[in-house]
Amino acid sequence: MKRIIPLFAVLLLGAQLSACSAERQIENQPVSTEAAEAAVTQEPAATPASGSEEDAASPSEQPSPAASPGSGDDAKAAPLYRMNQAYRFVPIEESTPSKVVLLTFDDGPKDETILTSMLDTLDKHGAKAIFFVNGYRVKQNPELLKLINERGQTIGNHSWDHINLKNEPKDVIEKQIADVQTDIEALIGKKPIFFRPPFGSGGDVVKEIVKNHGMLYMTWSDGSLDWDKSTRDKPEEVIRNVLEQLHPGANILMHELPWTAEALEKLLTSLEQKGYGYIDPAAIDINR
């Protein structure tokens, strides 16, 4: 029995020594790179700030809006309408609206109150018009001529004295037209490009002189009769006369008169309700 115990002790001691040796071998064995990377605890991703990177950028780093294309202020827009032999306006291209009218007012400028009322109404409706002026009235009221121009409306030549040019000699016709061109250019820096003969009465000589001055000669195709005694102080009659003659491309003749100024708001509203728009004189081809 005494011999068995020492033998057992020797065997137990040998097993412990063998186990310790194996543990040391494992500890000393090199660990692979992949295992080491897998064993590294990843740091948590940084919590994003409340604003985005764009929000955090300094003002100088903010993306600037793309520059808008040039408005072409220096370039003349292509004309959209031409006038036919009946003094009506027709689209040059099929895609251009034909249900439009040209608004015109003759025989001014003479009264600031009436004129301002007309200009305000035109502005309210986004409408453009031609104001055919007489030279002697321009001489009397140069500030009113400037007002028409400053309000974005177009000025036309209606001769100096509002006389019937048809039977006048050529030199008189020339002076009646040229003097208006000169005075208007001196006041606003540009000459009219539209001409309407007084009483709608011209002729070949008048048309030739008008053309030589670079203007488009026109009368009208829709007369309001606001100058006639039948419409005096009767704005409803002015409206009725225009609407009875209304047609696409109408060249509407009116005057700087108090009852016309009073009629204008309702007239423009009626035109719009019928689906009509307004021709901007700048869109008229004066060479056709």
* Per-residue pLDDT tens over the stretch 162-177: 999 999 999 999 999 9
CA distance 73 to 85: 32
Supply the pTM of this predicted model: 0.75
**Residue 74 designated active-site:** no
pLDDT of residue 77: 80
Distance CA 261, CA 267 (A): 10
Q: Which of 73, 106, 123, 228 is catalytic?
A: 106
Asked if 106 is an active-site residue, the reply is yes
Under the banding of pLDDT at 50, 70 and 90, the label for residue 204 is: very high
Look at the domain 101-283 and name its fold.
TIM Barrel (3.20.20)
Give how far Cα 47 sits from Cα of 50, 51, 54, Å.
9, 11, 16
Q: Are 102 and 254 in contact (CB under 8 A)?
A: no
**Residue with token string 């100024």:** 261
**Options 158, 226, 255, 280, the catalytic residue:** 255
65 — phi, psi (to 5°)?
Answer: -65, 150
Helix axes 204-212, 170-188, angle to 10 degrees: 30
Question: Which amino acid is located at 263 in the chain?
Answer: A
Please state the rounded mean pLDDT for residues 188-199: 98
